[in-house]
Each structure stands twice: as C-alpha cells, then as structure tokens.
C-alpha cells in the first residue's frame, strides 16, 4: 500500500493535467474561431500559377469553364473527357485566349480503372506531376426510383463515385510524396438533401462528401496534422449545363439556375481559399445546416412551399 498522501498527489497531478488540456482546448477553439472570422473578412487566395491542374469532364459545362478559368490564372491545364472532339475544342479555346498557357487534351473513360491509370502515366511523362485534381465528371439521369435500370444505377456510381476513387489512387500518392496538392470534388445540393427522381444520383453525391471528408481526416490524423494536401467539396445548385433537363423552380427570380461560368469561378475561389465544403450559391449549405434541425413536419412544409426540384426525363 502506498501512503495516502502519495495517492492524493498523483490524483491531483492527473487532474491538473486534464484541466490544462481542457483550458488549452478552449483556447485553441477560440483562437481558430477568431482566425476564421478574420479570414472571412480578409480572405486570402493562394496562387495557382505554375500548378498543374487536371480536370475531368472538360468537354462542356462546369468542367470546361473550370479549365478556362484555371488557364486564365496561369495554371497548366490537363483536360480529360470521354469525348475527344469537344475536349480538343476546350483546349483550342484556351490556347487561342491564353497564348502562353500550356493545355493538354486526353481522352479517358474515368469509369475504367485501368484506363485512368494508363492515361495518368501518360500525363506524368508528358506534362508532369498533377498538383490540383478536380473530379468533376458526372451524370444525372432523372427517373422515379423504380424506373432506373440496373445498368443505369451502376453507371451513375461508376462515374460519379468510383471514378473519384480511381483518380485518387492514381494521383494522391505523388501529392503525399511531395506533401503538396489539392483535391476538388463536385458533389451537389443533391448531396446535402435527398430529392425525388434523383435517388441514385443523390446517393452518389452523398457518397462523394463521405469520401472527401474521411480521406481528409485520415491524412490529417495519420500525419499528425503535417499534411499540406487540401480537400474541397463543392455542392452546386442546379446549373444550366444541360445535365438538369427539366428543372422545376417555383421562385426562379429568387433561386435562378446558376451559370457554368459563375459556378466555375466560385469553385476556383473556394479552392484558392482552401474551403473544405462550399455550395454554389453558398446560401444552400448554410440553410441546409440550419434547417436540418427543424422538426420533420416543419421542414416538409418549407420544402413543399419552395416546390422546386427536377422532373423525370422522358
């Protein structure tokens, strides 16, 4: 038996340690809240000049606008698309507008893992190490759940989710080796809230958020906070790209379709400011976070009032 005063001393010492930890934790939380208020007021955007940006789905829509935007900021742009013709148009447009910018077009079916790896190898040889990866390519078939064919459901997950895994497997190791890089993924407001006629699509976009959040946590914790690789997940509202064929919006003046150009410039801004998650417009993410706490019936009334979504494709 140890003398009682020793036991008391040890307990007091342990207690003091925990108390110090708690005080330190409170201090850090307050510090980082102040820091984020400060960077909200005076945002800093990192330069992308000289970075090698790879974007999937650059043949049209948001992907194309992203390629143009990154090129205008001085980045080398690597464009991947299934459709070689429209992809080369994007690259030619970049070269015509920005004569000093290097831009490359590669044809790739991102749902094929082997193809992703072989095209990635080519990019490494011909262009160099990709430092910013934008997983943008996606499809959005709209039907009632039971009208989706099995093949269609598999295709949605192949392109919207599994392709992100193959791209990360191909490009993340090099980013980790250099401890430098940024991964951007396109989710959707349909990845924040389930919507009718979009069951597989919503599930795929929720999956993207899960993938991005867990991979960034894994890197942060496994490197004890030393990882400098950033992750940004974007949730656009309905964008006027042709992906969303039959949008239904009760108040189109208050909730207009967003243009691909506007969406792309918001995405690039979010990436340059190292935001972890962002919706376009940002209001949707804020509203979603707040309104999720309403009672179910109240939330349903609000959703019915807004009466917006997409109708099934014919």
Q: Closest approach of Cβ 15 to ligand NAG, in Å?
A: 60
Q: Which is nearer to ligand NAG, 48 or 137 (CB)?
A: 137
The one catalytic residue among 70, 104, 106, 201: 201
Q: Closest approach of Cβ 110 to ligand NAG, in Å?
A: 8
The residue sitting closest to ligand NAG, measured at its beta carbon, is 109
Q: Closest approach of Cβ 112 to ligand NAG, in Å?
A: 5
Q: Closest approach of Cβ 155 to ligand NAG, in Å?
A: 7
Does 109 participate in binding ligand NAG (rule CB under 6 A)? yes
Near ligand NAG by CB under 6 A: residue from 76, 111, 216, 232: 111
Q: Which is nearer to ligand NAG, 112 or 180 (CB)?
A: 112
Q: Closest approach of Cβ 80 to ligand NAG, in Å?
A: 13
Does 139 participate in binding ligand NAG (rule CB under 6 A)? no
CA nearest neighbour of 94 among 122, 108, 110, 74 = 74
Q: Which stretch binds ligand NAG (CB under 6 A): 39-47, 105-113, 140-148, 180-188?
A: 105-113
Q: Compute the distance between CA of residue 272 and CA of residue 47 in angstroms, rounded to an integer.
A: 7
Q: Which stretch binds ligand NAG (CB under 6 A): 107-115, 204-212, 233-241, 292-300?
A: 107-115
Q: What is the 3-state secondary structure (H, E, C) of 210-240?
A: HHHHHHHHHHHHHCCCCCCCEEEEEEECCEC
Q: What is the 3-state secondary structure (H, E, C) of the chain?
A: CCCHHHHHHHHHHHHHHHHHHHHHHHHHHHHHHHHHHHHHHCCCCCCCCCCEEEEECCCCHHHHHHHHHHHHCCCEEEEEECCHHHHHHHHHHHHHHCCCCCEEEEECCCCCHHHHHHHHHHHHHHCCCCCEEEECCCCCCCCCHHHCCHHHHHHHHHHHHHHHHHHHHHHHHHHHHHCCCEEEEECCHHHCCCCCCCHHHHHHHHHHHHHHHHHHHHHHHHCCCCCCCEEEEEEECCECCCCCCCEECCCCCCCCCECHHHHHHHHHHHHHCCCCEEEECCHHHHHHHHHCCCCHHHHHHHHHHHCCEECCCC
Q: Compute the distance between CA of residue 187 and CA of residue 207 in angstroms, rounded to an integer.
A: 9
As given in the structure block, the two tokens for residue 211 are: 């993938």
Q: Which is nearer to ligand NAG, 155 or 273 (CB)?
A: 155
Q: Which is nearer to ligand NAG, 167 or 189 (CB)?
A: 167
Whether 212 and 233 have beta carbons less than 8 Å apart is answered as: yes
Does 113 participate in binding ligand NAG (rule CB under 6 A)? no
Near ligand NAG by CB under 6 A: residue from 98, 112, 220, 273: 112
Q: Which stretch binds ligand NAG (CB under 6 A): 44-52, 109-117, 126-134, 195-203?
A: 109-117
- Judge whether 201 counts as a catalytic residue: yes
Show the site string, 175-204: x = touches ligand NAG by CB under 6 A, - = not.
------------------------------
Q: Which stretch binds ligand NAG (CB under 6 A): 7-15, 48-56, 108-116, 200-208?
A: 108-116
Show the site string, 70-99: x = touches ligand NAG by CB under 6 A, - = not.
------------x-----------------
Q: Which residues bind ligand NAG (CB under 6 A)?
A: 82, 109, 111-112, 158
Positions annotated as catalytic residues are 201
């Amino acid at each position: 038996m140890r003398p009682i005063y020793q036991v008391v001393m040890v307990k007091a010492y342990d207690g003091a340690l925990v108390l110090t930890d708690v005080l330190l934790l409170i201090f850090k939380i307050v510090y980082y809240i102040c820091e984020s208020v400060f960077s909200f007021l005076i945002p800093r955007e990192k330069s992308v000049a000289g970075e090698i940006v790879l974007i999937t789905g650059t043949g049209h829509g948001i992907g194309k606008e992203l390629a143009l935007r990154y090129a205008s900021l001085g980045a080398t742009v690597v464009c991947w698309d299934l459709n070689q013709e429209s992809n080369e148009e994007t690259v030619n447009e970049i070269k015509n507008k920005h004569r000093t910018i290097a831009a490359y077009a590669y044809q790739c079916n991102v749902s094929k893992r082997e193809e992703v790896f072989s095209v990635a190898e080519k990019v490494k040889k011909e262009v160099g190490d990709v430092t910013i990866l934008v997983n943008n390519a996606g499809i959005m078939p709209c039907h009632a759940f039971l009208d989706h064919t099995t093949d269609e459901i598999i295709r949605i997950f192949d392109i919207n989710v599994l392709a992100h895994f193959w791209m990360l497997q191909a490009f993340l190791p090099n980013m980790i080796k250099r401890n430098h890089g940024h991964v951007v993924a396109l989710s959707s407001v349909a990845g924040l809230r389930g919507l009718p006629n979009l069951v597989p699509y919503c599930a795929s976009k929720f999956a993207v958020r899960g993938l991005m959040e867990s991979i960034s946590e894994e890197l942060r914790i496994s490197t004890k906070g030393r990882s400098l690789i950033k992750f940004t997940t974007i949730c656009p509202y309905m964008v006027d790209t042709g992906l969303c064929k039959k949008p239904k919006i009760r108040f189109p003046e208050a909730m207009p379709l967003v243009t691909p150009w506007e969406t792309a410039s918001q995405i690039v801004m979010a990436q340059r400011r190292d935001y972890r998650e962002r919706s376009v417009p940002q209001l949707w993410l804020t509203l979603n976070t707040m309104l999720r706490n309403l009672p179910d019936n109240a939330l349903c009334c609000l959703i019915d009032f807004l009466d917006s979504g997409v109708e099934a494709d014919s």
